[in-house]
Homo-oligomer: A and B are copies of this chain.
Amino acid sequence: MAEAGDLAVLTPFEAEIVAVFADLVTLLGLPKSMGEIYGLIFASPEPLAFIVIEQKLNLSKGSVSQGLRSLRELGAIQAVAGESDRRERWAATVELRKLIGTILRERLVPYLERQDHRLAKADILLAQEAAAVSPDQLKALRSRLGKLETWQSRARTVLPLVGKML
């Protein structure tokens, strides 16, 4: 797609794929630059060097370095044995199931655990504070807490399922 001397400019195709991932990543609450970097690598048939990414996306060295690191940690990209020079080249992990799985695991699982703790604690606290409210109100509160627990357990069952389907 890109010719040798054409390092500094995104092709329209690349730009579109970059936008796709920038948007996805923003939705997930990750830095946009990370999505852009991944998108560019994903849109490239051959592995890309650091400087190419820096120039095409017009990002600072720092951002590129950080972004590559995070993507590596997520398992979204891999280093490919450099050919001629000493520069590293980066290729996309195309199995996105793994990628999405990792993101879910890193964000959603800790989230669900925090919520589990809180709901368990809320159960205890409600029992302790029960005396302070009327029986009717207590019943209403218990019902609400029950609803929260129901959602929580649904989320727990649905989310791994979704992970598998995608």
Which residues of A does B touch, CB under 8 Å?
1, 3, 11-13, 16-17, 19-20, 23-24, 27, 29, 42-43, 45-46, 92, 94, 96, 107, 111, 114-115, 118-119, 121-122, 125-126, 128-129, 132-134, 136-138, 140-141, 144-145, 147-148, 151, 154-155, 158, 162, 165-166
Contact B158 A19 (CB under 8 A): no
Q: Enumerate 13 A-B pairs (CB-CB under 8 Å) in ascending A order.
A: A3-B132, A11-B129, A11-B132, A12-B128, A13-B128, A13-B129, A13-B141, A16-B121, A16-B125, A17-B122, A43-B141, A45-B136, A155-B166
Closest 3 CB pairs of A and B: A45-B137, A13-B125, A16-B122
- Docked Cα-Cα span, A107 to B145, in Å, equals 27
Cβ-defined partner of A20 (8 Å) among B118, B125, B162 = B118
The quantity of this chain's copies bound in the complex is: 2
Q: State the majority secondary structure of interface residues on A.
A: helix
